[in-house]
Amino acid sequence: MTSVSSDASGISQIIENAIEQNPHAGELLRAFKPVIVRQRQLAKAAMLMPADYSRVDKEKLKAGIPIIRQADFLDEADDIKQIILPLAEALKEGMPAVTEGIDRFCTLAQEGKIVLTDYFKTPEEGQASAVDKWGADLKLSPSNAAFLMSLAGRVILEQRRNEAVAALGAFDWEKGYCPICGDFPSIALIEEEGGTRFLHCSSCGQDWRFTRVCCPYCEKDSRQGMDYFYVENKTQESAFICDECKKYLVTLYRVGHILPRDMDVSAIALVHLDMIMQDKGYEPMTVCAWNVLG
């Protein structure tokens, strides 16, 4: 598979191309453009303490245990401000309506009251999540906090993905969730030659190969109850649907030579499929900042 995700270089033009080709998603793409550009820039900067991948076991990977469960992705010394503050400015540029809530979040971050590692901890049974705790203790909107932290999470996880891939090289992976961070895919791409399906994780930017005859979410491996939904005259765009788990996955078909593509931008451009599938009672395999339409 040739690269289907882009770094900071050229991402602005890719978004402009997507707006021209998908005018129905133009407003959403323009809103996310400053954020995506800044995410790519920050992900290329060395702002985190180095992670240790020496304990990652490729046999565990083969068994379905992602890298994030085998290595520490965050350190208490990692500085949240150098990620949050630039992202907040980009967010306010694209979505000025969120300014007030985001400004308060940034003030708390500068005061050291927002602890980055808390957000990525899995709450123990009966405990509130970090964003709920921030809402109660700091009078901060949980929705604003969760939104900004999800955007920051992409920067952090993409840096770790780049490091992990460089440190580990090739490894076997057969699951429908991401081998790096364990999240489910936001979009799939099917190659013209051979019909291979690749899944893409918008949480960290990883792409990986996955069989076409199995649902990535519930691992049902029968063609019965699985199908693809197409919009009329849009044969290169579809949604994979599974009636077992009631999940869908927006999907692109690569036919011939196409313009440079970023898979996250492509996922946003296919938001009309999200609307249609959610209206039909299906849910996305993963929740992204752009596909929560309820």
Do 84 and 150 lie in one domain? The reply is yes
Domain boundary residue, one of 168, 192, 218: 168
List the beta bridge partners of residue 228: 240
Among 179, 141, 162, 155, residue whose Cα is nearest residue 58: 179
For tokens 């980055």, the residue is 116
pTM of the model: 0.91
For tokens 């602005």, the residue is 12
Give the pLDDT of residue 4. Answer: 43
Give the pLDDT of residue 280. Answer: 95
Do 80 and 156 lie in one domain? The reply is yes
Do 80 and 181 lie in one domain? The reply is no
Determine, yes or no, domain membership for 34. no
Name the phi and psi angles at 136, rounded to 5. -75, -45
Domain boundary residue, one of 140, 168, 196: 168
Number of domains in the chain: 2
Mean pLDDT by 10 residues, the chain (294 residues): 55 94 94 96 85 95 96 82 91 88 85 80 70 82 84 93 94 96 96 88 96 93 84 87 96 72 93 95 94 71
Do 288 and 201 lie in one domain? The reply is yes
Determine, yes or no, domain membership for 29. no
Determine, yes or no, domain membership for 255. yes
User: 3-state DSSP helix/strand/coil percent for the chain, to nearest 5?
Assistant: 45, 10, 45
C-alpha span between 53 and 27 (Å, rounded): 41
Do 216 and 261 lie in one domain? The reply is yes
**Residue 144, number of CB atoms within 10 A of its CB:** 20
Determine, yes or no, domain membership for 17. yes
What is the span of the domain harbouring residue 88? 46-59+71-168
Terminal-residue alpha carbon distance, the chain: 34
Residue 71 three-state SS: coil
